[in-house]
Amino acid sequence: MSTILLVDDDDSLSLLLHLAIRRSGRLIQLSYVGDGQEAVAYLTPNAGTGDINHPLPSLILLDLKMPRMNGFEVLEWKRTQPRLEKIPVIIWSSSSLAQDKERALQLGATSYFVKPMETEGFVELLKALETYSLVASVS
């Protein structure tokens, strides 16, 4: 089973994605954290054991505009973590600014989607989630 880590300060997104994944019939677990600091804590090993309390995600779905630690800062932090380098990051942000998309991709994001989305855009996002999580779980 692959795991997707959703990093977003909008709780309703978690519910929407959970329902979409369940309807797809895929064996995908969705983990949710509310901001970048929680994402770093989720992905950081325990100091004593070097282990984390849950499986590493096969994909990260990341918002850019969040309090405390934004998505750009998460991408910058992730670049310094060799054990996380193979985990793809899909940006799902309300920003449609070209410079935000360019910066996110330069920092290592795999794809960039703008929200809110029409049904067609959401279907494309789900296809990307499925593709990247399947590829990552095989690696």
Assigned superfamily of 2-138: Response regulator (3.40.50.2300)
| Mean per-residue pLDDT over the chain, rounded | 83
Q: Torsion-angle region of residue 99: left (phi > 0), alpha (psi -120 to 50) or beta?
A: alpha
Angle value at C-alpha 126, between 14 and 79, nearest 5 degrees: 75
More confident residue, 134 or 99: 99
**CB contact at 8 A, 62 and 92:** yes
pTM: 0.84
Q: How confident is the model at residue 124 (pLDDT cuts 50, 70, 90)?
A: confident
